[in-house]
Structures are given as C-alpha cells and as structure tokens.
Structure 1
Amino acid sequence: MKRWLGKAETTLGNHSDRLNAINIFPVADGDTGTNLYLTVRAAAHAFTGTDAGDVGAVLAQAGRAAMEQARGNSGTLFAVFLCAAAEPLAGHARLSSPLLAAALNRAQIRAWSALSEPVPGTMLSVMEAAARAAADVDSAHDGDDSNHALGLALDAAVEAALAAVIRTEDQLAALHAAHVVDAGGVGMLLILDCLRSAVLGEELQDELLDGLHGYDVQDPHIHADMPRDDGVEVMFTIALSPLDAATMRQRLDEMGDSVIMSQVGGAADAAGHFRWRVHVHVLDPEPALALIRSLGEPMDISVSELAVPRDPDVPAPGVPAFAVPDADARNPDGHER
C-alpha cells in the first residue's frame, strides 16, 4: 500500500501538466492534475508508526492525511475514496480479490454520496466501473483469495476504468464539445494502474493512455480557450452534529455548487460532533463563511479564485510538465488552492 501511494505520487507528478491541460469540468480552471498530485502526495507521506501488518490501518492513516490536505474537487473525491477503501481492509494483513472488490465498492459508493449533485462522466464513473469489474471477477471465482485471483481482479478493474474514461467524452456535453476525456477520470485511472503495478510487481502500462483525446503531449491546453469562471472555491474542516451537517449541506447547496462533504475519521467527540471536510464553489465567499461560522468553528480554511491565468505558456502551478521535482523543491502550499 505504501508502494502504491508512492508510485501514484510520482506518476501524477509526471502527468499533472496534461491533466491540467484537459481539465474543463466542472470548472475550466486547469488544476486537476496539480490537485490530485498534492492530495496523493499528502497520503503518501503520511505513514509514521502504523502497524504494517494491517492494510486497513495503513490506508486509513493515509486517507486521513489526504482528507485534511485535499485540494479541489478531484483531490477531495480521491481522499473520500481512500478513507472508504480502508474500512473493509481493517485488520487484514494482505490484499485479496474479495477484499479488493469490497474496498473499491465501499469507496465508489462513498464518493458518489459525498457530492450533493454527483455527475456521471467524471472520476466517479471510473471508480464505479473499476469496482464493478473487480466484483465480477470475485464472483466468478467464488471468493478465491489467491494472488492469481487478485491479479485478475486488478487487471479487470484497470481495463474497466480505461473504458469508463473513454466513455466520459460522450457523457458530458462540455467534454464532447471540446473533444477531450475527463481529467479526473484519467487521474483515477493512473492511480488504479499504480495499485495494479505495486501489488503485482509489474511495470505501469505505458500504452494505457494512448489515443485518449486531448492527452497527446503536443495538444494545447484545452482549458485556456474556455470562459473564465467567476467565484471562489472554499474548503475547510469543521466539527458538526449530524443535524448541523445536514443543515450546512442544504444551505451550501442553495448558495453554490460542487458541494462535497465527507467525515474525517469515524468517531464522534464528547459532544456528539463529527469532523467534516467540506468543499464548495460560491460566487461570494462572505455569506458562505458567515453560514459556516454560525454552525461551528472551521479550521484549515482556504479560499481561492476559480479563475486562473489562461496563458498556456505560463507553467501550471505545483509541478512542471512531465517531471517530478526534487523532494526539497516540492512546495505543498505552492498551488493557489
């Protein structure tokens, strides 16, 4: 699991520029690659003294770090995915086909439910397709927990994820018009191929992205030609009662869009409050911040403009194109998020 997330960090660093280039949904702000990279990096660097004999404990620790430092829609959804995937793996010393199927299914359900208005044709569809493919393999092999069955399930999950990425172009009008696939979906595909590679001890599949529309190195930054987006992205962590959490989701839905709410950790505090990581796009941050503070004390608040520079010659924030920077050159706060 540690090898998976480390490999995913490197891979997303190498692909962040192309993911940014085709990022036009839900907002054409050209930062999906950077957001995923920074979120996965937080997960990969989270490991401390976690019991290496418990796969679920390892991923739960990584998921908490990812959730606390999640960036943007794509990073937040990946953090939700990781936290949920850890739950069925708790107490297990190794991954198996039945556990993979359970983890992917729990993760995709949680990711869909975290969004107030989930949309097919995004990384959610890629998560769902991978989970269904793994479940089909597990069912066909009657719960076989051998390494062979695990390999078949991982192969099927990545193959289904690729097919789902290709379908995204025709599932969303904005992607179809721009003739590109969904950036978050491609990022999720890369993450799943890193899992396959780490578990099976095989190389990444270099040909996996061949032919994906908009993904050739020479293609322009598609988002540069899109209208500038008004408003801001607000993210924060807050402790709320279940009733206040429901109230916040309802009010934020009325106020903005791209609302994502997911619990950080599973236990309530002494007052019966749960910690939540919240993400929303709003035109004006002040009413949103007033609402948030009326319900609790937010932490780790970030407010960032959705509009970004449209000059494709300006390097994307975070990491350079197709190059992983030295560790000491990586700045977790270097992105506008």
Structure 2
Amino acid sequence: MKRWLGKAETTLGNHSDRLNAINIFPVADGDTGTNLYLTVRAAARALNHPVGPGGSGQHDVGAVLATAGQAAMEQARGNSGTLFSVFLCAAAEPLAGQTRLSSALLAAALNRAQIRAWSALSEPVPGTMLSVMEAAARAVAGVDAEQDGDDSNHALALALDAAVGAAVEAVIRTEDQLEALHAAHVVDAGGVGMLLILDCLRSAVLGEELQSELLDGLHGYDVQDPHIHADLPDDDGVEVMCTISLSPLEAATLRQRLDEMGDSVIMSQVGGSAGAEGKYRWRVHVHVPAAEPAVALIGSLGEPSDISVSQLALPRDPELGSLDVPAHGGADAVVADSDVREPSGHER
C-alpha cells in the first residue's frame, strides 16, 4: 500500500500537466492534475512515519490506508482531490485488521469506496472519475464472484487486471457522457487520473511496470495538444474548502444551504468517531460566486479550520495564490496555487 501511494505520487506528478490541459469539467480551471498530485502526495507522505501507537498498524492494510486517507482528506485539493480522499478513507474500512490484500477484500474495498464517493457529492455526475471508480469496482466484483472465494495471488492479479481494463473503458466513455467533453473532443481529466492511480495499485501489488499504453488514443491526451481549457470561457466564482466539526443535523443543514448558494458541493466525514460533544469532523468543498457569504455560513455553524479559497476564473496568476478571506473562529486561509513541486523537486 505504501508502494502504491508512492508510485501514484510520482506518476501523477509526471502526468499533472497533461491532466491539467484537458480539465474542463465541472469548471475549466486547468488544475485537476495538480490537485490530484498534491492530495496523493499528502497521503503518501503520511506513511513516512509509523502507523499506529509504536508502529502497531504497520502491517494492517486498513490502518495504513486509513492513515493515508485521513492525511489526504485534511489536505485535499479541488473536486478530484476531495473525491479521491473520500475513496481512500472508505476503501480502508473493509481492510481493517487485514495483513494482505485478496480479490474478495479488493472487491469489498472498491465497492465501499465508489459508493461513498458518489454519496459525498450533492449532485453526482456520470462521466467523471466517479464512473471510473464504479466501473473498476464492478469489474473486480465480477472476477471475485467467478473465483468463488479463491484468495490466491493469482485471483488478485486477475481482479487488478479487470479493474484497470474496466477503468480504461470507463474513461473512453466519459467523452460521450458529458456534453462539455464531447464538444471539446476530450476525455475526463479526473477519470484519467483515477485510471493512473488504479494502474499504480496493480503495478505495486503485482510488481510489474506501469502500462503506458493505457493512455494511447485517449482523446486530448497527446503531448502535442494545447491546453484545451484555455480557449473556453472563464468560470466566475471561487472554490471554498475547509474542515469543521458538526453534528449530523448541522452537517445536513450546511449541505442544504451550500446547495442553495453554489454547486459542486462535497461533504465527507474525516475520521469515523464523534468528539466529546457528539460532533464529527467534516471536509467541506463548494463552488460559489463569492467567498464571503459561504465562509460566513460555515462560520455560523462552527469553527472551521484550514480554509482555502481559490479563484475558478482563468487564466490564473500563480503569483496571487489563494485569496485572503476573513477567518472565523480562528480559521486560517491556506495553500497558494504557486506552491506546487514535482517529486523531482522542480517547481511547476
């Protein structure tokens, strides 16, 4: 699992520019590759330290992924990064206490993960990385059913092959599932990112090389292509993200109010247990016309932390970074868009 996330960090770093180039849904802000890379990097680097008290969780697959997922959720960037964080946290749950992966466990993990990712969005849309997650999960479930409980490494290899194969087909279908992608003649950037992550999982578990040919022929992904999103109209508004502790009722209220105020609303629990006051920690993501009303709404229900506000309009000026917003309850604005480094250390 550590090898998977480390490999995914490097791979997304290498592919982030091409993912950014075809990022036009839900908004043409050209940052899906960067957001996925930074989120996966947070997950991978969380595993540089012992997992659990005294390293007790080092050999627990679920504990390792839960630690990585928690770190990813806390530092998630954008729609794609937030959805991957949800995916990772949910995948960890069926793997708790397990010391190795099997076809049946992989099926359970991917199914839990794709369901949780779909449910995190107020208005989930097919033709995105959600569809790729679902296709991979269904393919693995099919293989596992055919293997009739076989927990061998051979059965796991078949399941991983099926997951990646189904993900490729799902990515190709995204072009015709979303009007914006069809008009631009490109596949979904988040879907390609999820495909790369799944191929990294296959590579890490089986000890094989990444399958570079998976990307051959994906519309818009040729290196020679220009940044397609740059020719599209600018998207007004901002992306607001934060972490906050809320009761279930407060969380439902916030989701409803954010749905009325903006779109691309994603809310997911950070960790599974409630605090002393019966409140759960939530990661919140929304696109709104202006930051101040959304930040004020969030602040009226609790004390948010790690507030990040980024402009959706293009072209972005990397010198501007994130917008300054009023802090509520001691919250602080974080994350400048210019603070992006590839695994090699070269600044992007």
The answer to whether the Cα contact below 8 Å between 1:259 and 1:280 also exists between their aligned partners in 2 is yes
Higher mean displacement: 101-110 or 282-291 = 282-291
The answer to whether the Cα contact below 8 Å between 1:224 and 1:310 also exists between their aligned partners in 2 is no
Task: Give, in whole Å, the separation in 1 of the partners of 2:344 and 2:235.
Answer: 30
Equivalent position of 1:117 in the other structure: 123
Task: Give, in whole Å, the separation in 2 of the partners of 1:270 and 1:4.
Answer: 35
The answer to whether the Cα contact below 8 Å between 1:8 and 1:190 also exists between their aligned partners in 2 is yes
Equivalent position of 1:130 in the other structure: 136
Task: Give, in whole Å, the separation in 2 of the partners of 1:286 and 1:18.
Answer: 33
The answer to whether the Cα contact below 8 Å between 1:7 and 1:194 also exists between their aligned partners in 2 is yes
Equivalent position of 2:43 in the other structure: 43
Question: Given the two structures, how large is their TM-score scaled by the length of structure 1?
Answer: 0.94
Task: Give, in whole Å, the separation in 2 of the partners of 1:3 and 1:128.
Answer: 24
By relative contact order (CA 8 Å, sep 6+), the higher-ranking structure is 1
Q: How far 1:325 moved relative to its partner? A: 2.5
Equivalent position of 1:244 in the other structure: 250
Question: Given the two structures, how large is their TM-score scaled by the length of structure 2?
Answer: 0.91
Task: Give, in whole Å, the separation in 2 of the partners of 1:292 and 1:32.
Answer: 25
Are 1:88 and 2:107 matched, yes or no? no
| 4+ runs deviating over 2 angstroms | 316-320, 323-326
Task: Give, in whole Å, the separation in 1 of the partners of 2:124 and 2:42.
Answer: 25
When residues 231 and 190 of structure 1 are mapped into structure 2, their CA distance, relative to the original with a 3 A threshold, is same
Equivalent position of 1:70 in the other structure: 76
Deviations 1:126-156 (A, max 9, x none): 0000000000000011121100000000000
The answer to whether the Cα contact below 8 Å between 2:230 and 2:314 also exists between their aligned partners in 1 is no
Equivalent position of 1:143 in the other structure: 149
The answer to whether the Cα contact below 8 Å between 1:21 and 1:30 also exists between their aligned partners in 2 is yes
Task: Give, in whole Å, the separation in 1 of the partners of 2:161 and 2:287.
Answer: 36
Deviations 1:93-117 (A, max 9, x none): 0000000000000000000000000
The answer to whether the Cα contact below 8 Å between 1:46 and 1:62 also exists between their aligned partners in 2 is yes
Equivalent position of 1:300 in the other structure: 306
Amino acid at match of 2:25: F
RMSD: 1.4
Amino acid at match of 2:151: D
Are 1:161 and 2:167 matched, yes or no? yes
Equivalent position of 1:230 in the other structure: 236
Are 1:215 and 2:215 matched, yes or no? no
The answer to whether the Cα contact below 8 Å between 1:16 and 1:319 also exists between their aligned partners in 2 is no
Q: How far 1:233 moved relative to its partner? A: 0.3
Task: Give, in whole Å, the separation in 1 of the partners of 2:226 and 2:184.
Answer: 11
When residues 264 and 310 of structure 1 are mapped into structure 2, their CA distance, relative to the original with a 3 A threshold, is closer
Amino acid at match of 1:14: N
Structure 2 counterpart SS, 1:45 = helix
2:110 equivalent among 81, 104, 109: 104
The answer to whether the Cα contact below 8 Å between 1:13 and 1:319 also exists between their aligned partners in 2 is no
Task: Give, in whole Å, the separation in 1 of the partners of 2:152 and 2:159.
Answer: 11
Task: Give, in whole Å, the separation in 2 of the partners of 1:81 and 1:310.
Answer: 28
Higher mean displacement: 241-250 or 281-290 = 281-290
1:273 equivalent among 261, 272, 279: 279
Amino acid at match of 1:238: I
Task: Give, in whole Å, the separation in 2 of the partners of 1:140 and 1:108.
Answer: 21
Task: Give, in whole Å, the separation in 1 of the partners of 2:257 and 2:167.
Answer: 34
The answer to whether the Cα contact below 8 Å between 2:172 and 2:187 also exists between their aligned partners in 1 is yes
Equivalent position of 2:205 in the other structure: 199
Amino acid at match of 1:260: I
Q: How far 1:308 moved relative to its partner? A: 2.8
Equivalent position of 1:174 in the other structure: 180
The answer to whether the Cα contact below 8 Å between 1:223 and 1:310 also exists between their aligned partners in 2 is no
When residues 80 and 230 of structure 1 are mapped into structure 2, their CA distance, relative to the original with a 3 A threshold, is same
Structure 2 counterpart SS, 1:290 = helix
Q: How far 1:317 moved relative to its partner? A: 5.4
Percent of residue pairs bearing the same amino acid type: 83
Amino acid at match of 1:13: G
The answer to whether the Cα contact below 8 Å between 1:225 and 1:310 also exists between their aligned partners in 2 is no
The answer to whether the Cα contact below 8 Å between 2:9 and 2:343 also exists between their aligned partners in 1 is no
Task: Give, in whole Å, the separation in 2 of the partners of 1:324 and 1:177.
Answer: 34
Runs of at least 5 residues in structure 2 that lack an aligned partner in the other structure? 52-56, 318-336
2:297 equivalent among 283, 288, 291: 291
When residues 219 and 319 of structure 1 are mapped into structure 2, their CA distance, relative to the original with a 3 A threshold, is farther
Are 1:24 and 2:30 matched, yes or no? no
Deviations 1:163-189 (A, max 9, x none): 000000000000000000000000000
Deviations 1:34-83 (A, max 9, x none): 00000000000001211221000000000000000000000000000000
Q: How far 1:204 moved relative to its partner? A: 0.2
Amino acid at match of 2:242: F
1:258 equivalent among 241, 264, 267: 264
When residues 156 and 317 of structure 1 are mapped into structure 2, their CA distance, relative to the original with a 3 A threshold, is farther
